[in-house]
Structure 1
Amino acid sequence: MHTIERRTPALPYRRPSGSRKRFCTVALGFPFLLATLGVAAQPANPTYDPIVDAVVARYQLPGIAVGVIENGQVVYAATRGETVAESGQPVTPETLFKIASNSKAMTTALLGHLVDAGRLSWDDPVTKYLPDLRMSDPWVTKNMRVADLLTHSSGLPEGGGDLMLWPEPNAFTRADIIHGLRYIKPGYSFRSQYQYDNLLYVVAGEVAAAAGGAPYETLMHREVFEPLGLSRCQVGTWGRDAVGNVAQPHYRKDGRNLVMREDGPTIPAITSDPAGGIRCDLTDMLSWAKNWLVPTPTQLQWLSSTQRQVLQSPHMLIPVSNQRRTWDHSHVMAYGYGWRMADVDGQWVVWHTGTLGGMYSMLALLPDRKSGFVFMINGEAEDARTVLGEVLTKHFTAPGDGRGVTWYADALDHEAAQRPAAARPPDTSAATTVKPGAFAWSGRYRDPWFGQITLCPRGDTVQWASLKSPHMHGTVRQLGKRYLVHWDDPAVDLDAWLDPHAGSPPTLTMAKLDPLGDFSSDYEDLHFERIGGCP
């Protein structure tokens, strides 16, 4: 639920259920914005409005901002819904959204800018800038290049260590991540395959800071936002009310969109900023996209054609899913530096998506056509993102395809319905709360990278609590012969199996109840040992 990026695109997603809800709609025709972007004001667009409206209606989205570029010109920019559901505060082109993993391309652009300036090289060893870095294998530590931080091929298991990033806020620092990496067991051989991770983009941000001589957030503002005129984009610490017009994330419950983890007056810098902590509005995201599609001479001075090609060239192959082969006729899919890429209906598409607990985004570029699109959603929208991204892509790659929002949405629903029982979460309605006297595994436990937890009585329950991640707090239950942890806040994380193991000392392992659940809930990478009794 919290991950910056959940899984490889074009896999079946679950669609939130619930009754249809009324939306505040803002059909973008703001003359000042469209004039800035070089677009004639239009009250409605017969090509794109029906697509956006159909997605909003199908998935009852709280809010969305969508922009389309054709042949280097913004031809469509529209918003729907509200920054906070039922607030009456409309989403506008200046509404800030969490762009989540679309931040990665901004981080790699910062690195490319530093390469152009001679401050670092892609082939530099990471330890040149971060001498304390250690991976589990000393050979990998020695041979880890800056480039290796960016291609999801380091050997880290999918989402490995993400529980140091989410749920937020927590007390894990970037130094904790650099130290903790040495304890995360690899899931595969170095540089042998693609497995999405977020931690190494946090490390990449620290490399940028070391090479650039300033904190990551300072560099991002100074070296990326300011030169490109991204005046609304935010990262680091900033004031919610001073900046204003900030969309809040939502989840679906009982047919309603409800705010989750609402921002306070001060938005703090977070450990995950380089991997996915940036927020931008539609206006700035369209400017960011145009910078890649039709860069100006000034922008080419900011980042050279050489580095642009490096960032958006294939560096690590990604397996092509059956769905992508069927829907898009793709033969090759790869990861660059902060970008994915594939052939879609015979055309080259470069894109990325972002997911961060109630916020979804997608930015797609068709470089050969100087065209693309971007959208941001402030609700639980896995299927909505897949469907909208597919329909907008097909507008360019297969305009006669004839399959619209309804076809793709129904196809995802059908695939979800075919999910085998073994790949579904168990029914936990019969689970019972464990009484302290019936639980033999109470105590304090420690995992070498996640740190300390307590598994201790509280009243008539046994509570699981993390020292460094205070929002990870839940009640131990029993289902059949197995224990599970039910988190107090359903917006915090996926419920988890809890498996005690006898020994000296006793140990605990964990696993997701939903076998196909969010990989950032990487319980499988935890191995707790008992270090003492309950306080």
Structure 2
Amino acid sequence: MSVHSDTLQPLVALPNPDQPPSETVLLPVSQERVLKAVGTLDELAQNMLEKSGIPGLAISVVYKGEKIYAEGFGKRAAGSEKKVDPDTVFLLASLSKPVGATVVATQVEKGRIGWDSPVREFLPWFDMGTPWVSDQVTVGDLYSHKSGLPDHAGDDLEDLGYDRRTILERLALLPKHSFRTHYAYTNFGLTAAAEAVAVSAGTDWASLADQTIYSPLGMTSTSSRHADYMAQENRAAGHMKTDRGYIVTDLRQPDAQSPAGGVSSSANDMALWMQMVLNEGMVGDNKVLEKAALLPAVSPQTIIGGPRSMNARTSTYGYGFGLDVRPTGRVKLSHSGAFTLGASTTLALVPDLDLGIVVLSNAAPSGVPEAIAASFLDRVELGMDSRDWLSGYSKIMAQLTAPVGSLVELEKPKDPEPPRATNAYLGHYENAYFGSAYVEVEEGDLVLRLGPKNQELKMKHWNGDVFSVQPFSENQPAGSKSQVRFTWDANSGEARMVIEHLNSEGLGAFERIL
């Protein structure tokens, strides 16, 4: 059967023939549709607060170069009467990455450094474990998470209180994936790249961010220093979920990974930043950065995960930005941020619509920010929610706050093997990656002390030479229950202990030296 072209009727508005096919989107969205979706945000946010129980959140929306919505909901702190407003300052967590990418772009524009510049040109001490990779790894490799470092490399050292330089130096000791072939999300890999950028500019990262992005945009409540966040009067405290609901923690201090997770900002300030990105570096007639320097950051640089079917769209990552294709065919630039100790955030930018939304919350990962943003974009493009986004995202985020350790929810054996005499376990233990550990006696019980924070873990006998500990940190959420296992060398008789929750990369063995 043949069909003549003159009998075909267009189902959608035909595109501008001068527009490149790769930039063509055939499903139109009117301004009326956008404004109607914005009009549902108050109710949407209130419903999400009630369903989730999180204390507070703030939202801003920008459209066609203007901020068209900014509101706060709930309380800055559980038990407080102080309300969240659009100027309330939140921890951004990993929204710091796309913000930081725009800082890097300003220096790329100036020619001080390039996305393809080897990090060692500026940090000669930086070591990836092998000479060739150490010499070749670039700012872009680290900003796109394809350097070969393992997932969240160095975060465990941050939990123990090590400073930025020490953590970056010890990345050399970690086992690596193949260079430039594997996506693995790393806060401290990206931080190393940012450090190189700061050195190229002759200043520290926090000052560079303020000089190049925050101050020029008028982001007066935004900082890359944690002390500035803590000093804000209008500040949203961090919260952790417990059996009694959300409680204030304020335990997260992310200065060591500031370029990756240490920015604090407000919904109003983030609206200024979104406008600049959507306008390709311009704010009104003022140029903050060159489009050519920004474009690589918002372009695919690595594949996050392969598609599960031939029909699936592939998620990619640029330099600090996540990139997806919406069901409507529009490109979405996005990122989320999460601290298990009290922050959950997201942003989504749709360049074709000149539209952006940011959602900031003051609670551990809940799925609420992501669900609000996803519902909003559905309502803009489709006129309705395509699914129950909160149900889906809350299940994903629950994995981040789930307790870790092989002993979680297990009871001590009823007839355990007895331990050795207490003195057999005491001493000073060393590990090249994690540093010193001390097993001591306190009020008759064994205690394990770790890192510069002198993190104290009470050791309870489990079975034989195995003891249970209950670590609590950003990467070991409340309820975690791990084991410490002691062994003795058959020849020297020296003690060795393996700390399970520090052994994800096989580096959790400590040798006793005293």
Give the shorter-chain TM-score range: 0.7 to 0.9
- Normalised TM-score (structure 1): 0.78
Deviation at 1:321, TM superposition (A): 7.0
Amino acid paired to 1:82: K
Q: Aligned partners of 2:357 and 2:406: how far apart in 1? A: 35
Amino acid paired to 2:313: H
Amino acid paired to 1:80: F
Q: Is residue 500 of structure 1 aligned with residue 486 of structure 2? A: yes
Q: Aligned partners of 1:134 and 1:305: how far apart in 2? A: 32
Amino acid paired to 1:529: F
Match of 1:282 in 2: 267
Aligned with residue 110 of structure 2, among 87, 95, 117? 117
Amino acid paired to 2:458: T
Amino acid paired to 1:100: A
Change (3 A) 1:491 1:415: closer
Q: Aligned partners of 2:156 and 2:398: how far apart in 1? A: 30
Match of 1:307 in 2: 293
Q: Aligned partners of 2:116 and 2:397: how far apart in 1? A: 43
Deviation at 1:258, TM superposition (A): 0.9
Which is bigger in relative contact order (C-alpha 8 A, separation at least 6)?
A: 1
Match of 1:443 in 2: 427
Q: Is residue 293 of structure 1 aligned with residue 293 of structure 2? A: no
Change (3 A) 1:414 1:67: closer
Deviation at 1:372, TM superposition (A): 1.9
Aligned residues of 2:445 and 2:458 also touching (Cα < 8 A): yes
Q: Is residue 366 of structure 1 aligned with residue 350 of structure 2? A: yes
Match of 1:483 in 2: 467
Cα shift readout 1:410-436 (whole Å, capped 9, x = no counterpart): 456788999xxxx99654352489978
Q: Is residue 76 of structure 1 aligned with residue 66 of structure 2? A: no
Q: Aligned partners of 1:136 and 1:176: how far apart in 2? A: 15
Cα shift readout 1:127-184 (whole Å, capped 9, x = no counterpart): 11011111112211011112112111111111121122236xx3x2222123212111
Match of 1:349 in 2: 332
Q: Aligned partners of 2:293 and 2:207: how far apart in 1? A: 22
Q: Aligned partners of 1:424 and 1:528: how far apart in 2? A: 16
Q: Aligned partners of 1:508 and 1:339: how far apart in 2? A: 40
Aligned residues of 1:251 and 1:257 also touching (Cα < 8 A): yes
Match of 1:461 in 2: 445
Q: Aligned partners of 1:123 and 1:476: how far apart in 2? A: 48
Q: How many percent identity over aligned positions?
A: 23
Q: Aligned partners of 2:448 and 2:284: how far apart in 1? A: 54
Q: Aligned partners of 1:240 and 1:134: how far apart in 2? A: 32
Cα shift readout 1:246-275 (whole Å, capped 9, x = no counterpart): 111011223322111369xxxx88221111
Deviation at 1:478, TM superposition (A): 4.5
Q: Which moved more, 1:309-318 or 1:73-82?
A: 73-82
In structure 2, the gaps of 5 or more residues are: 1-34
Amino acid paired to 2:322: R
Cα shift readout 1:191-232 (whole Å, capped 9, x = no counterpart): 111011111122122112210011111111111111111111
Aligned residues of 2:89 and 2:236 also touching (Cα < 8 A): yes
Change (3 A) 1:242 1:410: closer
Q: Report the number of matched residues.
A: 464
Match of 1:4 in 2: none
Amino acid paired to 2:373: G
Aligned residues of 2:406 and 2:483 also touching (Cα < 8 A): no
Aligned with residue 176 of structure 1, among 155, 162, 166? 166
Change (3 A) 1:223 1:402: closer
Q: Aligned partners of 1:258 and 1:415: how far apart in 2? A: 22
Aligned residues of 2:349 and 2:357 also touching (Cα < 8 A): yes
Q: Aligned partners of 2:254 and 2:405: how far apart in 1? A: 36
Superposed, 1:223-238 pairs within 5 Å as 223-236=212-225, 238=227
Secondary structure in 2 matching 1:271: helix
Q: Aligned partners of 2:260 and 2:306: how far apart in 1? A: 24
Q: Aligned partners of 2:268 and 2:394: how far apart in 1? A: 33
Secondary structure in 1 matching 2:421: helix
Aligned residues of 1:445 and 1:528 also touching (Cα < 8 A): no
Cα shift readout 1:395-415 (whole Å, capped 9, x = no counterpart): 234434443xxx334456788
Deviation at 1:500, TM superposition (A): 3.4
Aligned residues of 1:105 and 1:338 also touching (Cα < 8 A): yes
Q: Aligned partners of 2:438 and 2:90: how far apart in 1? A: 35
Q: Aligned partners of 1:490 and 1:147: how far apart in 2? A: 27
Amino acid paired to 1:334: T
Q: Aligned partners of 2:48 and 2:226: how far apart in 1? A: 34
Superposed, 1:101-500 pairs within 5 Å as 101-166=94-159, 170=161, 172-186=162-176, 188-236=177-225, 238=227, 243-261=232-250, 270-295=255-280, 296=282, 301-319=287-305, 330-345=312-327, 346-356=329-339, 357-403=341-387, 407-411=388-392, 426-428=407-409, 430-431=411-412, 437=421, 440-470=424-454, 472-479=455-462, 482-487=466-471, 493=477, 494-500=480-486
Superposed, 1:1-40 pairs within 5 Å as none
Deviation at 1:525, TM superposition (A): 4.9
Change (3 A) 1:332 1:214: same
Amino acid paired to 1:376: L
Change (3 A) 1:57 1:224: same
Aligned residues of 2:62 and 2:356 also touching (Cα < 8 A): yes
Match of 1:56 in 2: 49
Q: Aligned partners of 1:474 and 1:450: how far apart in 2? A: 15
Amino acid paired to 2:168: I
Amino acid paired to 1:108: A
Q: Aligned partners of 1:417 and 1:152: how far apart in 2? A: 24
Change (3 A) 1:489 1:337: closer
Superposition RMSD on alpha carbons, in Å?
A: 3.3
Secondary structure in 1 matching 2:500: strand
Aligned residues of 1:496 and 1:523 also touching (Cα < 8 A): no
Secondary structure in 1 matching 2:146: coil
Secondary structure in 1 matching 2:460: strand
Cα shift readout 1:288-334 (whole Å, capped 9, x = no counterpart): 11111135366773211111211100001011576xx89xx851111
In structure 1, the gaps of 5 or more residues are: 1-41, 513-520
Secondary structure in 1 matching 2:470: strand
Q: Aligned partners of 1:352 and 1:490: how far apart in 2? A: 19
Q: Which moved more, 1:73-82 or 1:430-439?
A: 430-439
Q: Aligned partners of 1:291 and 1:391: how far apart in 2? A: 24
Amino acid paired to 1:355: A
Change (3 A) 1:488 1:100: closer
Deviation at 1:240, TM superposition (A): 5.9
Aligned residues of 1:251 and 1:358 also touching (Cα < 8 A): yes
Please tell me whether Structure 1 or Structure 2 has the larger radius of gyration of its CA atoms: 2
Aligned with residue 510 of structure 1, among 496, 499, 502? 499
Aligned residues of 1:159 and 1:522 also touching (Cα < 8 A): no
Change (3 A) 1:91 1:332: same
Q: Aligned partners of 1:232 and 1:414: how far apart in 2? A: 33
